[in-house]
Amino acid sequence: MSSHNHGGQAGHAGHSHGLNLSRRLGIVPGLIAGIALNLVIVVIQIIAGIIAGSLALISDALHSATDISALAITWFALAQAKKPPSAFKTFGYHRTGILTALVNSLVLVLVTLWIFYEAYQRLLDPQPVGGTLVLIAAIVALAANLLIVYFLHGRAEEDLNIRSAVLHLLGDAAASAAVIVAGLVIIITGWYPADPLVSVLLGLAILWGAWRIIRETLEILLEASPRTVDVDKAVEAMIREEGVLGVHDMHVWTLGSGIYALSCHILIEDIRVSESSRIIRNLKHMLRCDFHITHSTIEVESVSCNVEGPYCQISDHHLIEPCD
């Protein structure tokens, strides 16, 4: 007979991600400041790009837009995570930020394809570009991005999303530096193709970032194990726990941004419920501290069910074993 324990400390995670969420909410002012300043950068670059006839500035503005989306999605995910779960959405609203990131990245891919088309046309027929305006706008963008990094870098170690956003911002600062170089080349040499060439390089950077987000969001939606969690090592660590004889039916997935969940069955001796609760508490503490899995459900069994390995094939059991 197996013991299905989902109550109290033994069966459900202690919702330690709630405390983590409260710490993460302290990041919100920095996020809002970053979004607002980046929005100003985008507006300045688009206006300057149109006036100067610079595709590179417009491309850099779109690159800055990826930073806005990264910061906004982080803020949105934090806001949605505060909403309580319900009978209709038992996991809450953690996935809303993931869906937003996917849609945003697909839009960026389409916009980047337009950049490539425009750059191709301008390489065939170079257009005059106001190098001085390009240089000034790019310098402003570079300074603003470094300022946002300064706002957020202190929180980067506390939150994976903030760390990712900071990397985005540093990448955008590098992009602005590339536009500065293009502006200098145009001012000094009058070689206008420098502008569409830089826009192509920025487009490739946008595509790379968009592809990474698309890949990660699809993995989350397909319930893939988080890349930052070594599931085989987690199984080995669980088996090393005193009293655990085996682990099977192991599943690890991502609920939302940086929130990992686990469910599994463990085989133990036929012991008292209080002893099994102690084993599960120890397992949950280890999973939270060593693997950052904050939501875990562990089912206890005292009779082996002859399953080979920790991972099992999910099937339609009602087709195999008819209900009474």
Residue with tokens 């982080």: 74
153/268 same-domain check: no
pLDDT for residue 19 is more than 50: no
188/106 same-domain check: yes
Identify whether 33 is part of a domain: yes
pTM over 0.85: no
Distance CA 278, CA 237 (A): 16
Contact 221, 98 (CB under 8 A): yes
Confidence category of residue 194, pLDDT binned at 50, 70, 90: very high
242/196 same-domain check: no
236/119 same-domain check: no
> Which residue range is the domain that position 161 belongs to?
17-221
- Per residue, the 3-state secondary structure of the chain, as one string, reads CEECCCCHHHHCCCCCHHHHHHHHHCCHHHHHHHHHHHHHHHHHHHHHHHHHCCHHHHHHHHHHHHHHHHHHHHHHHHHHHCCCCCCCCCCCCCCHHHHHHHHHHHHHHHHHHHHHHHHHHHHHCCCCCCHHHHHHHHHHHHHHHHHHHHHHHHHCCCCHHHHHHHHHHHHHHHHHHHHHHHHHHHHHHCCCCHHHHHHHHHHHHHHHHHHHHHHHHHHHHCCCCCCCCCHHHHHHHHHHCCCCCEEEEEEEEEEECCEEEEEEEEECCCCCHHHHHHHHHHHHHHHHHHHCEEEEEEEEECCCCCCCCCCCCCCCHHHHCCCC
155/279 same-domain check: no
Domain boundary among 158, 193, 221: 221
202/243 same-domain check: no
Identify whether 3 is part of a domain: no
258/206 same-domain check: no
At 280-312, the pLDDT tens digits run: 999 999 999 999 999 999 999 988 776 677 877
Contact 50, 43 (CB under 8 A): no
90/138 same-domain check: yes
**What is the count of structural domains for the chain?**
2
Sheet holding 246-256, edge to edge: 2-3, 293-301, 259-267, 246-256
> Residue 271 sits in a domain of what CATH number?
3.30.70.1350
162/237 same-domain check: no
Confidence category of residue 317, pLDDT binned at 50, 70, 90: low
Identify whether 300 is part of a domain: yes
At 87-115, the pLDDT tens digits run: 877 777 777 777 777 887 888 788 889 88
Identify whether 38 is part of a domain: yes
Identify whether 172 is part of a domain: yes
207/242 same-domain check: no
Confidence category of residue 74, pLDDT binned at 50, 70, 90: low
29/161 same-domain check: yes
216/286 same-domain check: no
Contact 208, 174 (CB under 8 A): no
Identify whether 61 is part of a domain: yes
Identify whether 272 is part of a domain: yes
Domain boundary among 175, 204, 221: 221
